[in-house]
Amino acid sequence: MNLPHWLLILCSAAFLWALAVLTNRRNVQVHDGGGSPDSDLIVFVEPVRWLFIIWGFAPFCRGLRLAGCNAQVRLFRWSGLAGSLLVIPDLVRHRRLLQKAERLARQLDAYAAERPDRRIHLVGYSTGSYIALEACKRRTKHGAIRTVVVLAGTMSPDYRLDDLAGRVQRVHSFHSRLDLISIIGPVLFGSNDRRWGPAGGAVGFRRLPEFTRQRAWQVEDMAMGYLGDHFTVVAPRFVARHMAALFCEGITRRLTP
């Protein structure tokens, strides 16, 4: 019996989605905890797990290794079932985001207690950036986080980065005015810190403390795979060129476009 055309399309789409999820999970398992345990520790805070896919983590790790950075990388998971299905719940439930930030803060304290001599870095991607920064504000011991990298952050441009003084040694933010997700989402549903308008991931942050730097997307970044959108900011060649040295001092390798 011949199946209806629409059912064949639906079954094909479901198969491709399931294959993408399984491939993503395998790639995450390969990289989570990878790197040298004697090196610095990088904690990657996932974005909303839309379609049950952990976005950005595997290409970010590939970019580090491409540049010769062998820091250990661990994934911090926080996205829930509702966010994986509908996205919006994980964006706008402010209290839940702060609860996840508190959990991350305790995890960072635990990492620091295990190895007091080890430098810890944070990478927050999209909504994960808000959780990462709020976690830094909630840590209670073991000194400052060495580096926080904000990728396409979905908090407002007026987010108070100066509150991180003494808790973070340096913050580097990457944004792009072509990032439609960081524009449309916060305009329609509000930013993570509950303001309306384009997020810092699109237009940058307005008030930068001395320990903070930000970089806007440039046309030449396309040659490294970063097209200015919300997803390719973690393109491996772009990570290798512009981020790896933020964590691994002494890296001299640079990739040419």
* pTM of the complete model: 0.92
Per-residue confidence (pLDDT) for residue 256, from 0 to 100: 41
Cα 182 to Cα 36, 96, 212, distances in angstroms: 34, 20, 20
Cα 194 to Cα 95, 129, 154, distances in angstroms: 11, 15, 10
Which amino acid makes up residue 193? Answer: D
The contacts of residue 216 (CB under 8 Å, 6+ apart) are: 175, 176, 177, 204
With both helix axes pointing from N to C terminus, report the angle between 5-31 and 57-66 in degrees, rounded to the nearest 10: 40
Domain boundaries, the chain: 26-247
- Give the C-alpha separation, 27 to 25, whole Å: 5
Domain 26-247 has CATH 3.30.420.10: no
Nearest Cα to 178, choosing from 212, 221, 125? 221
Reading the chain (257 residues) residue by residue, the pLDDT tens digits are 566 777 778 888 888 888 988 999 999 999 999 999 989 999 999 999 888 899 999 999 999 999 999 999 999 999 887 666 777 777 778 899 999 999 999 999 999 999 988 999 999 999 999 999 999 999 977 788 999 999 999 999 999 999 999 999 999 999 999 999 999 999 999 999 999 999 999 999 998 999 999 999 999 999 999 999 999 999 999 999 999 999 987 665 444 43
Bridge partner list, 216: 175
Please provide the distance, in angstroms rounded to a whole number, between the alpha carbons at the two ends of the chain. 53
CA atoms within 13 A on the CB side of 171: 29
With both helix axes pointing from N to C terminus, report the angle between 127-138 and 94-114 in degrees, rounded to the nearest 10: 60
256 exposure class (CB count in 10 Å sphere: 0-12, 13-18, 19+): exposed
84 exposure class (CB count in 10 Å sphere: 0-12, 13-18, 19+): middle
